[in-house]
Structure 1
Amino acid sequence: MLENSPKADNWDSHWQELSKDIYFNTPAVRYRWKCLERLIGLNHQTSSPAKLIDIGCGTGRLLKYFSNCYSNIQLKGTDNSFVGLEIAKQSLPQGIFFQADLCTQQYEPPAPHREWATHAICSEVLEHLDEPVIFLNNAGKFLQNNATLVVSVPGGPMSSFDHQVGHRKHYTAKMLENELTQAGYKVEKTACAGFPFHNLYRLAFILRGESILNDAKQQEQGNSSFVSFVMNCFDWLFKFNLLNTRFGWTVLAKASWQGDRPVF
């Protein structure tokens, strides 16, 4: 098990492996992205473009999803992994991507990025961090005052894969609300989505353990029609997931930035 090991936090190495489509083309990822898109509430009809930044953007796949949903939008992404950012630049040439270590206290963004965004997303990042409040406070420096941030983090038990990629913890809605408030945000809404079928999907991950990575590779190579069939079934079942119950394992929040301030 690689929990909290240096290898678990080596995101340059992870993105070289996880940049393949198979790791993003899953029912759980598609469901989470739809939840975030619904929660952020961007207006298709607005005359002025939204300015959206993905904080912890990795390879830029979520920004690419938003670029396909909205034509009138400006996109930026930031991450601490140079490998992830290089992949993002190739995948989404119209986006602006830059490196930033937001885990550093008193981080100061370059002038072109300070107070730029009207909207921000931070998806599946906080669970990897030792100091998520510092990270969130630094992230706010990219946002205009009262800009909207939407966050997703995992809830429920951790799988072998979660440990492999360095999850420190999984969240409840209250835990996420507390961290956002401490970091200088006003929390407007929290939700626990995905019950019952996303929970069932997650339990399959937990039961399969490390074998889940082999399942994904077999599907990518076209060697497992059964895995493809199961994924298609979950895609259909996810349409019936509940958007907010205390049993959901996709933990979401919508918050507004209240301005930079010391967090400790």
Structure 2
Amino acid sequence: MANNDKIYEVYRGKRGVELERKTKERIEWILNEVDTANSILDIGCSQGIISLLMAQRGQKVYGLDIQEEAIKFAENLLENEFEACKENIKFKCIDFMKFDTDNKFDCIVITEVLEHLQNPIEFLEHAKKFLKQSGRIIITVPFGVNDHPDHYSTFYLSNLVAIVEKSFEIKKVQYIGRWTGLIAINKEDTQLFSYTQEEISKLENNFLEVDWEMTKRIQTLYQNGIEANAKYKQATENYELLKQKYIYELEKNKELLQENTRLTEAKEIVTKLIQQLYGEMGDEVQILKESKALISRLETQNNYLKHENAEYRRKLSLITDTSIGKIGIKVYKLLKKIKSKLR
């Protein structure tokens, strides 16, 4: 009997507001039906929420579950409770069909367990051993189809009644949305459940409620489907536009690549031509280089001579601008004239 219930997450609202509301409604019904029972055996307690709530009210609770993970989770929750609550509760990981005790309980709670069993009748007969005479058993199961891989049974009313009344006398059937709740008593001489008009009406009303809920969900899903189809259509159109744009850009890029290839090839041809010309005109190129070097040297010498000439003129100007210099120039010119006549 596997139980992968996540009741704690649901109870804390981590799986939707509506599911939280319905789950708390079911749990509240269970707590009200437990009423003033002093000792309670919670079979299939899962993560221990209902057991803890009963213990907080001062009731003595023994919680059993086959899954070790669920029991460890429940024990961790218990660590955060007050000492008084801790004293009221005990958890144990065990297959219930192997469970045994000399104690008998005022009340037994079996919530969302029977649908997981291949032989629920044997399971309830075993539970009967631990319930006091006139003690109360509280059972809840999913109402109708609940597509779970670990479910062996789907319960409405008659098949649930047939199983339970083999061991107990059914006192009350309650429909809580997607769940069916059943209260039964442990008696020696039991009476069969009476399918009164009232019971049939309650069943039909719950079918009506569930049908309306499913109809609304179908309508919502249908509307969501229409919106999803519209979005899909728009997405398809956008995809086609992007696809065309991509093809255009791809072709454009292809042309650019071809142009780049042509330019690369032209560059290679020019490079080869330059190399070829350089090889054929090697001597001319060398002469040009030497001529360029000679011109550079001549320009350097010319610049030096210009500088020396300017310096000579400056020094000559210094001489000719003085009185002695002027007399010297006149003497020079006179001597030059006499020398000319002597010739």
Output the TM-score relative to the length of structure 1. 0.59
Which of 26, 30, 44 aligns to 1:32? It is 26
> Which runs of structure 2 are paired with 1:25-64 in the superposition (5 Å)?
25=12, 26-40=20-34, 42-43=35-36, 50-64=38-52
How far the C-alpha of 1:65 sits from its partner, in A, is 2.3
How far the C-alpha of 1:39 sits from its partner, in A, is 2.8
SS of match in other structure, 2:174: strand
Alignment of 1:157 with 2:141, yes or no, is: no
Unaligned runs of 5+ in 1: 1-8, 44-48, 195-248, 260-264
Matched to 1:97, the amino acid is: F
How far the C-alpha of 1:108 sits from its partner, in A, is 5.6
How far the C-alpha of 1:258 sits from its partner, in A, is 3.2
How far the C-alpha of 1:153 sits from its partner, in A, is 0.6
SS of match in other structure, 2:161: helix
The structure with the largest helix share of the pair is: 2
**Measured at CA, do residues 193 and 133 of structure 1 come closer, stay the same or move farther in structure 2, by a change above 3 Å?**
same
Query: What is the distance in 2 between the residues matched to 1:122 and 1:60?
Result: 12
How far the C-alpha of 1:193 sits from its partner, in A, is 2.8
SS of match in other structure, 1:170: coil
Which of 136, 145, 148 aligns to 1:148? It is 136
Partner of 2:100: 109
Moved over 4 A (4+): none
Partner of 2:106: 118
How far the C-alpha of 1:55 sits from its partner, in A, is 0.9
Alignment of 1:96 with 2:110, yes or no, is: no
**Measured at CA, do residues 60 and 120 of structure 1 come closer, stay the same or move farther in structure 2, by a change above 3 Å?**
same
Q: Percent identity?
A: 20
Partner of 1:240: none
Alignment of 1:135 with 2:129, yes or no, is: no
Partner of 1:208: none
Computing the radius of gyration from Cα coordinates, the structure with the larger value is: 2
Partner of 2:59: 73
Partner of 2:176: 193
SS of match in other structure, 2:148: helix
Cα deviation, 1:175-212, whole Å, max 9, x if unaligned, reads: 22211111x21111112232xxxxxxxxxxxxxxxxxx
How far the C-alpha of 1:141 sits from its partner, in A, is 2.1
Query: What is the distance in 2 between the residues matched to 1:108 and 1:31?
Result: 30
Matched to 1:22, the amino acid is: E
Query: What is the distance in 2 between the residues matched to 1:135 and 1:109?
Result: 13
Q: Contact conserved, 1:152 with 1:250, CA < 8 A, in 2?
A: yes
Partner of 1:258: 187
Unaligned runs of 5+ in 2: 13-19, 80-85, 189-343
Partner of 1:172: 156
The structure with the largest strand share of the pair is: 1
Query: What is the distance in 1 between the residues matched to 2:129 and 2:99?
Result: 8
Q: How many residues align?
A: 173
Query: What is the distance in 2 between the residues matched to 1:101 and 1:133?
Result: 16
**Measured at CA, do residues 156 and 108 of structure 1 come closer, stay the same or move farther in structure 2, by a change above 3 Å?**
closer
Q: Contact conserved, 1:128 with 1:168, CA < 8 A, in 2?
A: yes
When the two chains are superposed, the root-mean-square deviation of aligned CA atoms in Å is 2.2
Partner of 1:226: none
Partner of 2:70: 84
Cα deviation, 1:151-195, whole Å, max 9, x if unaligned, reads: 11111232xxx414x12222112222211111x21111112232x
Q: Contact conserved, 1:173 with 1:252, CA < 8 A, in 2?
A: no
Matched to 2:31, the amino acid is: E
Output the TM-score relative to the length of structure 2. 0.46
SS of match in other structure, 1:92: helix
How far the C-alpha of 1:63 sits from its partner, in A, is 1.1
